[in-house]
Amino acid sequence: MKRAKSSLSRLTIGAVLAVTVAGCSSTPSGETGSGNQSGSIAKTELNVMVMTEATGDQAEQTIWEDTVKMYAEKNPNVKINLQLQSFAGVEQHRTWVTTQLIGGNAPDIFTTRYIWDQEDLKKGLLVDLTPYYSKKNANLGDKTWEEVFPKSVLQRLQGENKTYASVPTNIDSVRVLYNKDLFTKAGVTNVPKTWNEFLDAQEKLKKSGVTPFGFPNTKPGDYN
């Protein structure tokens, strides 16, 4: 069990293929030592699920296949079975993750959302990646994940006990546009630069009779 977890964590550190690692599921596919007549090198077989934005996206599929190929060339003792999967919505994705983890059928490494990983870590369903965030990584010029990822991202990933249960694969930025005329009418003289200033502007806009803010979320968690 301990060896399996160690192998999974090393793969994540080296390739950063996905954002979280299942609790214990690597499969050795070979043996070494005097009992192995063929003299083959022991291999660790890993199942990796990557969530894609659209089914059949050839460009995205090629990127992940090339990533796996490059990793395999540097790590011949690891065999990766890549699965690309898309979901109709956030609920379907969450249901899939929960069902796979509880049923013991989750891939070794898979895409999740950071708002779920700490919950699953507390249940003992994921590997605690905290120790690896402070380890130097040869693929990052001997820097650590804590040095590479923005502090704002690390703060969102950390749990109550300063634990990490996932690794970010992509970071989205959202641009907010505003109507200067409505700002002037509501008495908002400056563009908000802090969260408190932003909330204060919302109150003024609301009192002036307009909807203060709109965001294309169909449901909570869509952009998490």
Q: Quick: pLDDT tens for 149-205.
A: 988 889 888 988 899 999 988 777 777 889 999 999 999 999 998 889 999 999 999
Q: Is residue 163 domain-resident? A: no
Mean pLDDT estimate for the chain: 79
- pTM assigned to the model: 0.66
Residues listed for the chain = 224
pLDDT value, residue 111: 87
Q: Is residue 215 domain-resident? A: yes
Domain boundary (108, 125, 157) is at 157
pLDDT value, residue 152: 86
Verify that 80 and 191 share a domain, yes or no.
no
Q: Give the largest CA-CA distance in the chain.
A: 83
Structural domain span for residue 214: 172-224
pLDDT value, residue 91: 85
Q: What band does 56 get if pLDDT is binned at 50, 70 and 90?
A: low
Distance set, CA 62 to CA 58, 68, 69, 128 (Å):
6, 10, 10, 30
pLDDT above 90 as % of the chain? 40
Mean pLDDT of 130-139: 92
- Tell me 21's DSSP state: E
Q: Is residue 222 domain-resident? A: yes
Torsion of CA 153, 156, 160, 163, to 10 degrees: -40
Mean pLDDT of 40-62: 79
Better-predicted residue by pLDDT, 65 or 31: 65
Mean pLDDT of 40-58: 77
The CA-based angle 202-172-196, given to 5 degrees, is 25
Verify that 203 and 136 share a domain, yes or no.
no
Q: Which one-letter amino acid corresponds to residue 213?
A: F
Verify that 7 and 117 share a domain, yes or no.
yes
Report the CATH number at residue 82: 3.40.190
Verify that 37 and 135 share a domain, yes or no.
yes
> Is the pLDDT reported for residue 105 higher than 60?
yes
d(CA 29, CA 98): 27
Verify that 148 and 184 share a domain, yes or no.
no
Structural domains counted in the chain: 2
Contact 49, 81 (CB under 8 A): no
Domain boundary (103, 133, 157) is at 157
Better-predicted residue by pLDDT, 9 or 170: 170
Closest residue by Cα to residue 93 from 108, 115, 118: 115
Q: Is residue 165 domain-resident? A: no
Q: Which residues contact 108 (CB under 8 A, 6 or more apart)?
A: 8, 11, 21, 22, 25, 26, 46, 47, 48
Verify that 42 and 74 share a domain, yes or no.
yes
